[in-house]
């Protein structure tokens, strides 16, 4: 199975901060990398596919980059509604696997 | 709009089975696969398996291979997840999710609201 490792596991940030979350795959997944946002008690929300393509309706302050084994999710200017847990997920092969999540908290 | 509405919370005893349903609407049911993802309390997301709503073929995570069955009923546009031989560590929220695809990229585009399954004696 492909292991997905996110860092950091959690971070504290202020409104307006630039936030970067890293996701590393245990082998190359080319660009078959998706990102999701989850708020407490809610289902995950799909944000980004193919490492860098924004889903329709997702604010442009979210961006993704990377290929191969190393990927990043960046929030350019953190907003109050962005405090949540973020997960990466590979769709290169089955079993589909997720990172362990990165919790973004208010500083 | 695409909606996935799951059945309600369940409490089951160890060793029992549970069946969770996922009623789909707002799209052509047979055109998309359904995956099931679970989340134990305070933990991350774990993919359990996938079922094609057209052919009914399945793929399962090895961890669940022997205990889970995924099915669909196109007449009612409903997907089902059955998990057998329940253990306390199966306590989790179970989500159905409809895949989306753009080019070769596949992703979990739409999610049900989740069903809490509690396993307790």
DSSP calls for B102-118: ETTEEEEEEE---EEEE
Contact check, Cβ <8 Å, B44/A45: no
| Residue pLDDT, tens place only, A55-101 | 999 999 999 999 999 999 999 999 999 999 999 999 999 999 999 99
- Mean pLDDT score, A13-29: 98
How high is the pLDDT of residue B74?
Answer: 96
Q: Contact A44/B108, CB-based, under 8 Å?
A: yes
Contacts A87 to B, Cβ<8 Å = 44-45
């Amino acid at each position: 199975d492909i292991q997905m490792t996110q860092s950091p596991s959690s971070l504290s940030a202020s409104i307006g901060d630039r936030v970067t979350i890293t996701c590393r795959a245990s082998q190359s997944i080319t660009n078959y990398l998706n990102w999701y946002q989850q708020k407490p008690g809610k289902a995950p929300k799909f944000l980004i596919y193919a490492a860098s393509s924004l889903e329709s309706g997702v604010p442009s302050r979210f961006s993704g980059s990377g290929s191969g084994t190393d990927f990043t999710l960046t929030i350019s200017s953190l907003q109050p509604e962005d405090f949540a847990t973020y997960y990466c997920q590979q769709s290169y092969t089955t079993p589909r696997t997720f990172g362990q999540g990165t919790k973004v908290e208010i500083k | 709009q695409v909606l996935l509405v799951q059945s309600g919370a369940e409490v089951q005893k160890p060793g029992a089975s549970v069946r969770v349903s996922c009623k789909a609407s707002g799209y052509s049911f047979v055109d998309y696969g359904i995956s099931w993802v679970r989340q134990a309390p305070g933990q991350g997301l774990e993919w359990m398996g996938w079922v094609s709503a057209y052919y009914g073929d399945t793929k399962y995570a090895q961890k669940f291979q022997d205990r889970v069955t995924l099915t669909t009923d196109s007449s009612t546009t409903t997907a089902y997840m059955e998990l057998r031989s329940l253990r306390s560590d199966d306590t989790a929220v179970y989500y159905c999710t409809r895949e989306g695809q753009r080019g070769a990229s596949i992703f979990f585009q739409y999610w049900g609201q989740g069903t809490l399954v509690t396993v307790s004696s």
